[in-house]
Amino acid sequence: MADLLLIVRLAGRRVALPAAEIEGVVELDGITPTPKAAPHVAGLSALRSRVLTVIDGLAALELGRSPAEGLLEAIVVPSGGHTYALLVDSVEDVIETARPPVRIQAPVGAGWDRVAIGMVEAGADLLLLVDPHLLISGPAAQAA
Amino acid sequence: MDDLINDFLAETRDMLQALSGAIVAWETEPGDRARLDEIFRFVHTVKGNCGFFDLPRLQQLSHAAEDVLAEVRSGRRAPDANLVNAVLAVIDRIGELVQALETGESLASEDDEQLIAALSFLPVAPAVDVEAPVPTGEVKKGMRSIRLSVDLLDRMMSGVSDAVLARNELARRLRDTERDLTVEAAFERLSGCIGEIRDAITRTRMQRIDSLFTALPRMVRDLSADLGKQVRLQVDGGDVELDREMIEMIRDPLTHIIRNAIDHGIESAEERAKTSKDAIGYLRVSARQAGNQILIEIADDGRGIDGEALVRKALSAGIISPDKAEKLTQQQRLSLVFAPGLSTAGEVTAISGRGVGMDVVRANIERIGGLVDIDSRRGEGVRLCIRVPLTLTIIPALTVSAGGQVFAIPRSAIEEILRAGAATQLDRIGQSTVVTIRGRRVPLVGLSDLLGVDAPAADSTGNAAASSPSSGGQASSSIILLKPAGGNVYALAVDAVHDHEELVVKPAAPVVMTAGLYAGTTLADDGRPILLLDPSGMANQAGIRFDDQEAENRHAAAAQAQDGPDEKSLLLFRGLDGGLRAVPVPVVERIEDVASETIRFSAGRLRVSVGGHILPLAGCTEPPAGGKLRILRLTDGESELAYGFGEVIDIRSLTLDLKPAPCPGEVAGVALIDGAQVELLDPYWLFAAFADAKPATDSDVPMVCALPTGDSWMDNMLRPLIESLGYRVVAAGEGVAADILITCADDEAETGTAAAEVLRIRSHPDLAGENDNSIYRYDRAALLDALSRGASRAVKKDG
């Protein structure tokens, strides 16, 4: 059975996300800041009449902060009754993969270990498979 | 099945509506066969459907009517006026029943029999004639309705929201183009229409919680009858509005809780008699909106929950470990009720089963973002509180900005909006700020400080520079008094107040809620998301301790004054000579540090210049050697004086056993406070001796009227009247001289306020005796007369 994967560039790395978890790709114009919210929350944005909670992918990985200026590319992820927009560097492609993901056997790098759930073959490359929900819940949730 | 019943009810109602013409026609002409057939078909259909659903009352009625009409059709009976009346009465009753089934009301069934009997006996009982002319047809015409799925409503809602956004986008584009009046007019119309549609659709989602509550009396009646118990039900707050969907989500949990309360909670009459309780159990269901939540409370006065037994059961069921069980608080023990597979009910009953339920109740409520709290005292009953978030509900809100960003505040929590400036006064005490508004001190929280956002530097509004330098660097131009549900008043400083708006609030994501400051999110008219602030959350985050505030709060002081009439709120301080002194809090305007250079011996006495005024200085005999001097700024309402002192000790509210000073002076007397001798200042003497005399020609000086505090009639009704006559109102018994003193005739206690005139007011219209010179409180003419007489006399005395 073929699974669809969304290939994005996040924190400078090409990673795969299960396309079934993703509602769409949007360009966000303007983010309303959310003072004192969890640090990986970039703010709020509106997708037509829905409020999106914007998650800074870089901050969720504890690898820095994305700039919150101009048009921002994000993927829309419904999770736990809320809709989130996950900021990414860029969205590349949607591909099919026939092989199930394989387990990761070595550390894949600071920040990534928490969100990576496996490795998948995407064409000729082997990419990290990232769970968008783990990105959304943020670093704090892991510690708790 | 529910859908089928609803369809049947709707169909029956529609048929009744269509039939109303035929009924009237048949009434005037009973021989009309076509009309007769139409009515016959109706009762026949109803009868058939009733058999399918289990609706015995409807079936009985329609069956009886069908029998009679069949006889008429076959010519065995003549359709006389009595028979027509009887049939109509039955049809009306069917209409009422259908309506009752739809709304969930209960309808008395006693006279069904009478109606049916009237059909079969030709000499009609008079009761039916009375019953017959119920104009149900007309009522129903006004209630046209259709059924829609919430899904469709959601789609409409999101569609119209998009339309609003598109309209706003168009408005922006239009502004950029050349003006064209015809296009603008058309756009205005479109814009208005969209606004109206949005309002209407928004309202379709809302429903009064009544629709949930109306079913309760019947349910409680049936349940208590089944169980042989007597229960009195009280329902409050049916007018609280909730999202339709939310109401549906609460329905089952609420039903379950009530079943539990009646089945397991409320005891049988005999058992209640043994514990000297009223034989009739009491169950109260109430709803109210509290800030950003809807609270539904279900309280019974039954046997309560045995926390110990719960723990034992939980232990034996392996739900908790023994070491954990020991550490549980009472609250945590009670919460075990919600653990899956646990119940204290000794036996299984048909009504509420055993053990399954409360866990489901909690799960259902938590699914919609709500909470269930339980509180119980053994033998006294259980109180369950369901809190459902305001999400998806529409709340009126005020939009404000701080740090260049817009936020919304639920209007329900807002007491008052003030501009920072003349009427308010800010005092920095350590790290916190206290604002004094008309003598009431409340802690102040700066919204931008709280949120950690910068004050607007280059804001587009551009008037940030207008802030006054004396307010301790606060750039805020508005102060909002907030009273969160269950909390105390505090003030919130914001950069600007924008607008009142009705907002559809949606839940914020958990990662945003962790801030503890927000109640949800909403979309502004321009489509940008806005955060809705949570007033009680903000108070918590700002670390406001309301206990401290109590003592300073004028209202609190008034409340305490009610407990003991002689109790005074006093500021305890150490004088410059080291002696303990006290002064009534209400005469203290503020506490300030002044530089010693500002103090001069001038024009015959010590004076201090502060904030552009020269105030007479009491409490010290010579200018301090150097550094700073702390002063109390005392006020009698019109003039001010400064009183130098060493340090503030405390603010206390106490009953004083005052030993008066031998002659009038700065000190009125001495009293024992915490074992130490404390001198009580005499503000009356101080002002008489120190305050600069006002020019006698100044007729604008308001007369002072002393009013007892803590009496709501006085505060709310009399006070505005007195103030409208130009009096300045002070609290009686606080040591401020007054031109007129109001006392309550029912209360003979003297308040000790010096006053030129005493006006006694009685609450009863009749005079108490011969020499009763009091005035009835609602005798407006006499009151006005007495007050204006007092005012003119005082003016004469001054002149």
- pLDDT category of residue B423 using cuts at 50, 70 and 90: low
Are B512 and A140 an interchain contact pair (Cβ–Cβ within 8 Å)?
no
Are B529 and A32 an interchain contact pair (Cβ–Cβ within 8 Å)?
yes
The predicted pLDDT at position B390 comes to 59
- Assigned domain for B537 exists: yes
For residues B728-758, one letter each, b for 16 or more C-beta atoms within 10 angstroms of the residue's C-beta and e for the rest, the string is: bbbbbbbbbbbbbbbbbbeeeeebebebebb
Domain around A19:
3-139
Are B531 and A38 an interchain contact pair (Cβ–Cβ within 8 Å)?
no
In sequence order, the 6+-apart residues with CB closer than 8 A to the CB of B721 are B780, B783, B784, B787
Smallest Cα distance from A9 to chain B, Å:
24
Q: Is A76 on the interface with B (CB under 8 A)?
A: no
Closest partner CB to B517 (pick from A30, A36, A136): A36
Whole-number percent of chain A with pLDDT over 90: 24
End residue of a domain, out of B141, B164, B190: B141
In sequence order, the 6+-apart residues with CB closer than 8 A to the CB of B495 are B400, B401, B402, B403, B404, B447, B448, B455, B456, B459, B464, B475, B476, B477, B478
Chain A residue numbers with beta carbons less than 8 Å from the beta carbon of B528 are 30, 32, 46
Same domain flag for B710 and B632: no
Same domain flag for B179 and B227: no
Residue B111 sits in a domain whose CATH number is 1.20.120.160
Q: Which residue of B has its CA nearest to A139?
A: B511
Least trusted range by pLDDT, from A52-56, B350-354, B526-530, B786-790: B350-354
Q: Which residue of A has its CA nearest to B454?
A: A35
- Would the CA dihedral through B247, B248, B249, B255 be positive or negative? positive
Alpha carbon B315 to chain centroid distance? 42
Q: Is A99 on the interface with B (CB under 8 A)?
A: no
Give the residue from A29, A31, A32 with the most B CB atoms within 10 Å of its CB, the best one to mutate: A32
Residue that the structure tokens 């508005």 belong to: B478
Convert the pLDDT of each residue in B581-610 to its tens digit.
888 877 777 777 787 778 887 777 888 887
CB A143 within 8 A of CB A89: no
State the total domains in chain B. Answer: 6
Q: Is the pLDDT of residue A54 over 90?
A: yes
Smallest Cα distance from B529 to chain A, Å:
6
State the total domains in chain A. Answer: 1
CB B520 within 8 A of CB B389: yes
* Alpha helix ranges (H) inside B567-677: none
Same domain flag for B365 and B218: yes
Convert the pLDDT of each residue in B442-501 to its tens digit.
888 888 888 888 754 433 333 333 333 333 344 457 888 887 654 578 889 898 888 877
Convert the pLDDT of each residue in A102-138 to its tens digit.
888 888 887 888 888 888 887 778 889 999 999 998 8
Cα dihedral value B504, A48, A69, A88, nearest 10: 110
A:B CB pairs within 8 Å: 83
Q: Is A33 on the interface with B (CB under 8 A)?
A: yes
Closest partner CB to B511 (pick from A33, A46, A53): A53
Same domain flag for B218 and B197: no
Same domain flag for B157 and B132: no
Chain A residue numbers with beta carbons less than 8 Å from the beta carbon of B403 are 35
In sequence order, the 6+-apart residues with CB closer than 8 A to the CB of B502 are B202, B394, B395, B396, B397
- Assigned domain for B464 exists: no
Convert the pLDDT of each residue in B689-707 to its tens digit.
776 654 443 445 567 777 7
Q: Which residue of B has its CA nearest to A133?
A: B511
Smallest Cα distance from B523 to chain A, Å:
7
Structure tokens at B346: 């000794």
- Assigned domain for B465 exists: no
Task: Quote the ipTM score.
Answer: 0.88
Q: Is the pLDDT of residue B130 over 70?
A: no
Half-sphere exposure of B381 (CA within 13 A, CB side): 18
Half-sphere exposure of B646 (CA within 13 A, CB side): 12
Domain around B123:
2-141
Are B514 and A38 an interchain contact pair (Cβ–Cβ within 8 Å)?
yes
Are B506 and A53 an interchain contact pair (Cβ–Cβ within 8 Å)?
no
CB A96 within 8 A of CB A82: no
Chain B residue numbers with beta carbons less than 8 Å from the beta carbon of A32 are 405, 528-531
- Assigned domain for A144 exists: no
Convert the pLDDT of each residue in B697-745 to its tens digit.
344 556 777 777 667 677 767 777 777 676 777 777 666 667 777 777 6
Smallest Cα distance from A115 to chain B, Å:
17
Residue A12 sits in a domain whose CATH number is 2.40.50.180
Same domain flag for B225 and B366: yes
